[in-house]
Amino acid sequence: MADKISFDAPRGMRDFYPADMVWRNKVFDAFKAAGEAAGFEPYDACVVESYELLERKAGEEVGEQLYHFLDKSDRHLALRAEMTPTLARMVAQRQKELHFPLKWTTIAQCFRYERMTKGRKREHYQWNMDIIGEDSVLAEIEVLGAAVDALKRMGLKTDDFKVHVSSRKFLGSLLEKSGIPAEKHAQVFLALDKRGKMPDEEIAAMLKDGGLSEDETKATFAIMDLKSYEGSPELKELFRLAGIAGFADSLVFDIGVIRGLSYYTGIVFECFDTQGEFRAIFGGGRYDNLLTTIGGEPTSAVGLGFGDVVITELLKSRLGEGAVKRKGTSIGFMTEGERDAALSLAMRLRREGDRVDLALRPQKPKKFFSRASEANAAKAVFIGPDDVNAGKARLKDLATREEKEICL
Ligand code: HAM
């Protein structure tokens, strides 16, 4: 007898059964609709990249989490952990032909060898919205506005989430004023990003490793208590424009938002549920140097990554199972004698544009209706011998229980 193979997906990888697809589609539909409404163009790319493109020299977590391997010709390849390096590569490759600014969007499957915690898997889908080649803060507004729009389309309310915003440029200028030179900032950012995830003593040790004196470390912690963005013209403009766009109440200034990726250069943001129950819903910011880092021409850029894992957990918790829309019509029949009538009715409704699930064999009514409910059908018709004789049946609305006649 053959050895039994485990039926589990590899740790951290995900199967999507039909019941899971209902949620995934709800989330993806909102991503796509919000991207479309804001005039972003869809793109896609390979999941496998050269390791060289994805490797990190800055000691960032994502670099350590790469799934990588040698192919049969000894090419060093890796599965993408995020879309941004791939996007930069694609733009750099056609930099002469493309018309900037670009507004591009995709839903990318990404892989990270993460420590498995709530909201973190080793495989996730990430909605990306990026604007390449625009310095104006209106680019940040367009990206953030679309993300807020997606959250609303999923059924969340303004009170359910907040986008925490800061600026690395602003933080950098404050550090500089405290005498901490620019070459130390990358290290300071990586250390500060760990705040809240590890004790301040460990952060202080990281800052010391990054070359900061005790006084500089103290000054750094003092800066982190700042509550006002008045000293930053770009943040002031961001909040002002968000007011005009109608989502300023979804933004809050938070100097503690640093971001774990080293390529960010300006405004950075991260979205959280207001109850503080889940990990970040989405994150992003301005990254004006990434194209030059990989050998392209200097180009400004801003974008975000919005994963499917945390948002699905949040939607299930805040909206409940009832949030998934009922759709289509289920048709069933009692005996073989009504099968032809059921098939005819199904074809007629499909021609009219309805989504119809036709039972494949005779059933008892109770069984039929419970299956139709489970399948989240909006309506159901059960055809018995009397209905065929009368030439009509009853179409039942499964949410309201109302019935109306339908011709056979
Ligand atoms: P990130 O913060 O590493 O940024 O990821 C963005 C979002 O992807 C997170 O807020 C979370 O929703 C989701 N995510 C990341 N890792 C996982 C995981 N292991 N499991 C589940 N969800 C996850 C980036 O990746 C940037 N490239 C975003 C960006 C685009 N910046 C500019 N353009």
- Return d(Cα 381, Cα 402) in angstroms, integer: 12
The per-residue pLDDT for range 92-131, each reduced to its tens digit, is: 999 999 999 999 999 999 999 999 899 999 999 999 999 9
Pocket test for ligand 1, best of 194, 257, 309, 313 (most atoms within 8 A of CB): 309
Is residue 138 a part of any domain in this protein?
yes
Q: Does residue 310 sit in the same domain as residue 337?
A: no
Is residue 125 a part of any domain in this protein?
yes
pLDDT category of residue 59 using cuts at 50, 70 and 90: confident
Residue with more model confidence, 63 or 83: 83
Q: Does residue 286 sit in the same domain as residue 193?
A: yes
Closest CA to 105 of 308, 310, 312, 305: 305
Residue with more model confidence, 86 or 61: 86
Tokens of 229: 């963005």
Q: Does residue 254 sit in the same domain as residue 355?
A: no
Q: Does residue 242 sit in the same domain as residue 103?
A: yes
User: What's the domain range around 349?
Assistant: 326-407
**Residue minimizing CA distance to atom 26 of ligand 1:** 305
Is residue 62 a part of any domain in this protein?
yes
- Return d(Cα 259, Cα 109) in angstroms, integer: 21
What would the DSSP string read from start to end of 317-351?
HHH-GGGSPP-SEEEEESSGGGHHHHHHHHHHHHH
Q: How far apart are the CA of 116 and the centre of ligand 1, in A?
A: 15
Is residue 6 a part of any domain in this protein?
no
Last residue of a domain, one of 278, 299, 321: 321
Q: Does residue 238 sit in the same domain as residue 93?
A: yes
Is residue 282 a part of any domain in this protein?
yes
Mean pLDDT of the chain: 95
Q: Does residue 225 sit in the same domain as residue 131?
A: yes
Q: Does residue 171 sit in the same domain as residue 285?
A: yes
Q: Does residue 364 sit in the same domain as residue 231?
A: no
Q: Does residue 312 sit in the same domain as residue 336?
A: no
Total domains in the chain come to 2
Mean pLDDT of 398-408: 96
Tokens of 263: 């390529």
Instruction: Tell me the three state secondary structure of residue 168.
Output: helix
Nearest atom, ligand 1, residue 84 CA: 27
Is residue 2 a part of any domain in this protein?
no
| CB-based contact 346:358 (threshold 8 Å) | yes
> What pLDDT score was predicted for residue 149?
98
CATH number at residue 208: 3.30.930.10
Q: How far is CA 278 from the centre of its chain?
A: 14
Q: Does residue 264 sit in the same domain as residue 352?
A: no
Last residue of a domain, one of 272, 292, 321: 321
Is residue 216 a part of any domain in this protein?
yes
Give the DSSP H or E segment for 175. Answer: helix 168-177
Last residue of a domain, one of 293, 321, 349: 321
pLDDT category of residue 326 using cuts at 50, 70 and 90: confident
| CB-based contact 247:144 (threshold 8 Å) | yes
> What pLDDT score was predicted for residue 1?
60
**Residue minimizing CA distance to atom 2 of ligand 1:** 283
| CB-based contact 95:296 (threshold 8 Å) | yes
Q: Does residue 179 sit in the same domain as residue 233?
A: yes
pLDDT category of residue 180 using cuts at 50, 70 and 90: very high
Closest CA to 238 of 176, 164, 297: 164
Mean pLDDT of 137-147: 98
Q: Does residue 309 sit in the same domain as residue 376?
A: no
